[in-house]
Structure 1
Amino acid sequence: MLLAFLGLTIAPPSAGQDFPVPFDGLATDMAMNALHSSMLNSMLEQNDDEPATETRAAVETGYAASAAVSAQAQRQFIAFVRETSGAAGAEAVELEFRKASPSQIWAGMVAGDGLRPGDAVDAVAGYWMLNWIIANRAHETDFDTRPILIQARLALSQNGGFRALTEAQRQELSEVLMMNFLIQQAVYSDAVAKGNEPMQAALADAAVARFRNEAGVDLRAITVTDRGFASR
């Protein structure tokens, strides 16, 4: 599940430390910012009386995973962890990624929620859902993930920046989001397991700040409905 406790031996960050998404090496940062805006717009434009329904967009969101792209994304990510959390944190993450690839770890955690690797929709939706859970400390809240997957597919289909991505860029975008998901989930789950209220609060505030900066959306001002995310 999205907040199943993950056995990553990652040292928790200092209170309030954030984990932004590093897109060095690919021009996907602009696409990601526009994607967040598309998600926000889809929330605001929904008909409040109609549940989300699947409409398959004529936009390619999937990818066939390349080992070379995965290796590049992992190198960049581990370098980022080393820079922000120190050598010990980077070594711990690298050790876990040697045991199983990040996409395999991620897939094992989210399979029960209907998410799969190989499609950017699932990676984007999972990233939004996890950050909403952390921001609202809603780790005991159950909800249907399908409307959010539908919402994410619509957002991607409407996003010019995403449509311009190559297959390799769709893969890297997805796998970087997965790796951020794993770090954020591991640290938050550790705080929950230890009953560390100050750390939970700090991580919640960090998630709010991250999405306010990236998307201009307040994760505490939206909720999960049968239409996906919607304003409270």
Structure 2
Amino acid sequence: MLIRPFLTALLLLATPVAANAQQLPQAVENPTTTADAAEFDTSYRPSPSISARMQREFLSRIRWSAGVEVRDNLAEAFAERSPSEIWQELVAPDGLTTNNVADALTAYWVLNWVAANGAYAVEVDSRPIQRQLRLAFANDPSFLRLSDQQRQEMAEGYILNFLVEHAALNTALAQKDLETLYALAMAAASRFRSQMNVNLFTLVPGPDGFVGRSNSD
């Protein structure tokens, strides 16, 4: 996934919004490798009211973390196109789609890995990571108990934070702001370490998804 151009309004953002702690699926490290599990359905039936609520809460957090002007610019952008529509345009070339938890987490994980490792020009194949996450979700008892509403809240949480972090990274790259790029890298690494117990510095994408780096990497 290459970093692609984004809306001018969103480029006003300087730092990502703190996300609620969300764990990677419990089985992501040692999933049961079965063909059926790899095709496990992580989609959900979306509710417009849930999307509207999450957008309101997101804009409220933006108001207090980044200011009224940024909040208003985002609200204007979202009035023209929903966050999911904006996200879909960005990730469609990677074969990802809306209303799917594994797809939302795939995009979020790739973006944070790129930010943490400074791999801005690396073309990451999202498909193995998508399969890896489907497999893990299929073996995660806590995920299997989630309702459509809970799946939507999880996925759209990843989507909203993806948009903020993507915009911040694009801004820093366009301005060649090395200090901010370093800060974003450390924030991504810290976020995944504390919220998901994952060390982004030790991972590398490959045909089996994200795996530990070998000594030769």
- Check whether TM > 0.5: yes
| Distance in 2, Cα, partners of 1:55 & 1:139 | 34
Could you list the per-position Cα deviations for residues 89-132 of structure 1 after superposition, in whole angstroms to 9, with x for gaps in the alignment? 21122111111001110001100001000211100111111100
| Aligned position for 2:85 | 104
Q: How does 1:47-196 map to 2 (within 5 A)?
A: 55-56=36-37, 60-196=41-177
1:116-155, CA deviations, whole angstroms, 9 ceiling, x for partnerless residues?
0021110011111110011111110012211100011012
Match of 1:12 in 2: 13
- In the comparison of the two structures, how many residue pairs are matched? 212
What's the counterpart of residue 27 of structure 2?
Answer: 38
Distance 1:87 1:204 in 2: 26
What is the alpha-carbon root mean square deviation over aligned residues?
A: 2.1
Counting aligned pairs with the same residue, the percent is 33
CA distance in structure 2 between the aligned counterparts of 1:146 and 1:104, rounded to whole angstroms: 20
Shift of residue 36, structure 1, vs aligned partner? 5.0
Structure 1 residues 142, 69: closer, same or farther in 2, change over 3 A?
same
User: Measured at CA, do residues 2 and 171 of structure 1 come closer, stay the same or move farther in structure 2, by a change above 3 Å?
Assistant: farther
Gaps of 5+ in 1: 23-28, 47-51
Question: Would you say the 8 A contact 2:51–2:156 is kept in 1?
Answer: yes
Measure the CA separation in 2 of the matches of 1:18 and 1:7.
16
Could you tell me how far apart the structure 2 residues matched to 1:166 and 1:60 are? 13
Question: Taking structure 1 as reference, are residues 58 and 115 closer, same or farther at Cα in structure 2, changes over 3 Å only?
Answer: closer
Conserved 8 A contact 2:25-2:133:
no
Gaps of 5+ in 2: none
The amino acid of 1:9's aligned partner reads: A
Task: Identify the residue that residue 49 of structure 1 maps to in structure 2.
Answer: none
Indicate if the aligned counterparts of 1:59 and 1:163 stay in contact, CA closer than 8 A: no
CA distance in 1 between partners of 2:8 and 2:116 (Å): 21
CA contact (8 A) 1:37 1:215 kept: no
Residue 38 of structure 1 aligns to a residue in which SS? coil
- Structure 1 Cα separation of the partners of residues 27 and 51 of structure 2: 26
| Aligned-residue offset at 1:193 | 1.2
Tell me the secondary structure at the aligned position of residue 123 of structure 2.
Answer: coil
